Chains A and B, each alone.
Chain A
Amino acid sequence: MRTIRAAAVGAVTLSLALAATACGGGSSTGGGSDNSPKTLTYWASNQGASIAVDKKVLQPELDKFEKRTGIKVKLEVVPWSDLLNRILTATTSGQGPDVLNIGNTWSASLQATGALLPWDAKNFAKIGGKDRFVDSALGSTGAEGKDPAAVPLYSMAYALYYNKQIFADAGISKPPATWDELVADGKKISAKGKSVLGAEGSNVAENIHHVFVFAKQHGADFFTADGKPDFTNDNVVAAVKQYVDLMAKDKVIPTGNAEYAQNQSVSDFAKGKQAMLLWQSASSNLKSQGMSEDAYGIAPVPVQSGTPGTGAQVNSMVAGINLAVFKNTDNLDGATKFVKFMTSDAEQKILNTAYSSIPPVKAAQSDAAFTAPANAVLKDTLATSAAALPQVASESQFETTVGTAVKDLFADAAAGRPVTTDSVKAALQKAQQQMPAK
């Protein structure tokens, strides 16, 4: 009898426990609080060559932070393929990290969800004020006219990386400054049996970064001034076509690159199989793949004609990582302190050196570490000829739809099917139709 009763009690308890744990999630949907002042959870994006490298870079800094404030930071480095999904899930459930890295192009989209703490004047004052940061970096922190959803952490820009030996063998004395020059140099390089330029044709985000710059160079934008998608205007079509034509018509991008999505083009470049690479802050990545710094040169990304600048002379997006505070944090004060720590001059120098990026903090940028020739090109580009991706709520949908359209166009080019103005326009039309109506 006793065992039966025990079994019954056990069964009921178990059921209650199950129901309680299942319903327990998602309860903290309020604003931030200071309920657990001694710990923080931090989701870092994967900036180094691997997740292990990131942990090695970040852990000593987090230990430093703990020593100073007594707050223990639990670090998780989230790979890029998962980061946005993880953030979305955290947003939906209200259970997330306290502080997190976001790709700066997602700022406006994530801002619209209301999951991130807005950085108004009061919050900025806690980390030393808004004017500590470079303007171009602040331009990628959320929709215009709204308080930024995050603060800049690392800045990056695209540059043209070229293999000095291959250039010398092909008799090319200086890196191409315009696309025409690049195509002409490509012929000399192909003649020597090397492939010319790398691309990640199946990587949706990479495609977007490039066609965005090409659109700028054609004087066009993917969104109208009031934030409506405008993918099919003639200049955008011409811009996308010019990028895909690098494979389809000019034959400088090998057709095999159409299926690249795991940074194979960086490996090809590091192995000396390919002469040029358009990449953001590639130095540490190339180093980890065994390419010595003397083996390659860094030049600004080509333009249509003339020299890089603003307007149609733009030659890079403002790439970078922002640091955001999750609104549901239970350690708001600690989270703000952590942001202050990570954006302090000293930490900015250490972290940006480790990741070969440029500090978005003015005082740190002038440090000697960032005036080396490699960084000079990136710094120059950021300062004079980089533009922020559209800061609209539907930015992440734009990346998916247009990025996929470019991927499909590359697939056409690779299969030898013609890429015409009409086919480009049709692909972009389809992308535009998939954008949210509101």
Chain B
Amino acid sequence: MTTATEVRKPVHKSSPGAARHPRRPGRIRRVSLPYLLLLPALVLELLVHLVPMVIGIVMSFKELTQFYIRDWGSAPWSGLDNYSMSVDFNAPVGEALLHSFLVTVGFTLLSVALCWLIGTAAAICMQDTFRGRGLLRALFLVPYALPVYAAVITWVFMFQHDNGLVNHVLHDQLHLTDKPSFWLIGDNSFYALLTVSVWKGWPFAFLIVMAGLQNIPKELYEAAALDGAGMWQQIRRITLPSLRPVNQVLVLVLFLWTFNDFNTPYVLFGRSAPEAADLISVHIYQASFVTWNFGTGSAMSVLLLLFLLVVTGTYLLLTSRGRRAADV
């Protein structure tokens, strides 16, 4: 805390030697420069991330209904009312939120597991060189590269009851069902959503695992082959353990993306999703935008944020501890 005295020291006009033997004010300037240059990024980070988050948290303690949204500073504080309403699982609002939460958990687990399984399997199959490998790799990445809206709206057309491709194949051509099924309403909507989500998500898993595979030394496989290990054993004993750090990040990222996914269910089902596919992101959107109760919507968002923080923290703690143990 000597800056104050330093600043008061007389400032000499800089002479040619000043640069080599900087006087103190110059040093302050030099020390502060990196921070000044960081300032725009910091301000942006505050504006884009932290301020909206804090505002959201503040909103969750207010009774922000249609009567107050015009001047939401005047909305009365409601204490923990929004929260107690959201977690009162015996009342309709809490019950619906819990149902939506459970649907989302089930959906996310299935989707992440399938994305990982398909992505890893495909990456391992693409490991050996063969003709057309580049083409296949590019083809596999197409769903990931397509804009979400364009891709999902195409699925909507395919899932249509009367003219959709899915019913045409399953019912008209393969005769697997007695009558055409509904995919966008009712219970089947869960499977429709899962299909689209996996279709959209597995190329990312494929890409990451493929990158991870490049780092596994060929010698390991050669040595294993000499020792008489078959393909399955090679995958189990070499590939999967070597991919561990990659998988750790991949699964977490897939989990967070899938759990929070808004675009896919919104484009598939519109603003009121069928109960079987009532994902929490759309549910919260509906709680705030459609019923105009932004306080409750914010409280639900904060709860979701807390849940994801806990899951992420626990996951990182467990996996990093596991890795440390493995390293020893």
- What is A's interface to B at a CB cutoff of 8 Å? 1, 4, 7-8, 11-12, 14-15, 18-19, 22, 29, 85, 88, 91-92, 94, 109, 112-115, 201-202, 204, 255-256, 258-259, 261, 393, 396-397, 400-401, 403-404, 407-408, 410-412, 414-415, 430, 433-434, 436, 438
The yes or no answer to B112 lying at the interface (CB within 8 A) is: no
Chain B residues within 8 Å of A88, by CB: 69, 289, 292
Total count of chain B residues near the partner, CB < 8 A: 44
The yes or no answer to B242 lying at the interface (CB within 8 A) is: no
Chain B residues 255 to 285 lying within 8 A of chain A, measured CB to CB, are 270-272, 274-275
Known contacts A19-B47, A411-B186, A430-B92; decide if A113 and B69 are in contact (CB<8 Å): yes
Q: 14 pairs across A/B with beta carbons < 8 Å? A: A7-B37, A15-B39, A18-B43, A19-B47, A88-B69, A109-B292, A115-B70, A202-B270, A400-B286, A401-B291, A411-B185, A415-B182, A436-B291, A438-B65
The yes or no answer to B305 lying at the interface (CB within 8 A) is: no
Chain A residues within 8 Å of B93, by CB: 433-434
User: By the criterion CB–CB under 8 Å, are B186 and A15 in contact?
Assistant: no
Residue of A nearest to B189 (CB): A411
Chain A residues within 8 Å of B70, by CB: 29, 91-92, 94, 113-115
Chain B residues 38 to 75 lying within 8 A of chain A, measured CB to CB, are 39-40, 42-44, 47, 51, 65-67, 69-72
Chain A residues within 8 Å of B29, by CB: 4, 8
**A314 vs B326: C-alpha distance in the bound complex, in angstroms?**
76
Q: Which of A29, A112, A403 has most chain B Cβ within 10 Å? A: A112
The yes or no answer to B316 lying at the interface (CB within 8 A) is: no
Chain A residues within 8 Å of B286, by CB: 400
**A255 vs B66: C-alpha distance in the bound complex, in angstroms?**
37
The yes or no answer to B293 lying at the interface (CB within 8 A) is: yes
**A436 vs B65: C-alpha distance in the bound complex, in angstroms?**
9
Give min CB distance, B175 to chain A, whole Å: 18
Chain B residues within 8 Å of A204, by CB: 271-272
Chain B residues 138 to 191 lying within 8 A of chain A, measured CB to CB, are 160-162, 182, 184-187
The yes or no answer to B317 lying at the interface (CB within 8 A) is: no
- Identify 10 new A-B residue pairs, CB closer than 8 A, beyond the known A259-B185, A396-B292, A397-B290: A1-B14, A8-B36, A91-B70, A109-B66, A113-B67, A403-B272, A414-B182, A433-B91, A434-B92, A436-B293
Selected contact of A92 from candidates B72, B96, B182, CB within 8 Å: B72
The yes or no answer to B33 lying at the interface (CB within 8 A) is: yes
Give min CB distance, B16 to chain A, whole Å: 12
Chain B residues within 8 Å of A1, by CB: 14, 19
Chain A residues within 8 Å of B274, by CB: 408, 411
Chain A residues within 8 Å of B289, by CB: 85, 88
**A403 vs B272: C-alpha distance in the bound complex, in angstroms?**
9
**A114 vs B93: C-alpha distance in the bound complex, in angstroms?**
27
Known contacts A19-B47, A113-B67; decide if A397 and B292 are in contact (CB<8 Å): yes
Residue of A nearest to B275 (CB): A408
Give min CB distance, A112 to chain B, whole Å: 5
**A114 vs B19: C-alpha distance in the bound complex, in angstroms?**
63
Chain A residues within 8 Å of B47, by CB: 18-19, 22
User: By the criterion CB–CB under 8 Å, are A12 and B270 in contact?
Assistant: no
A interface footprint on B4-39 (CB within 8 Å = 1, 0 otherwise):
000000000010000100000000010011001101
Chain B residues within 8 Å of A92, by CB: 69-70, 72
Q: Which of B66, B72, B270, B274 has most chain A Cβ within 10 Å? A: B66
**A65 vs B43: C-alpha distance in the bound complex, in angstroms?**
45
User: By the criterion CB–CB under 8 Å, are A433 and B44 in contact?
Assistant: no
Give min CB distance, B32 to chain A, whole Å: 8
Chain B residues within 8 Å of A113, by CB: 66-67, 69-70
User: By the criterion CB–CB under 8 Å, are B40 and A14 in contact?
Assistant: yes
Chain B residues within 8 Å of A407, by CB: 185, 272
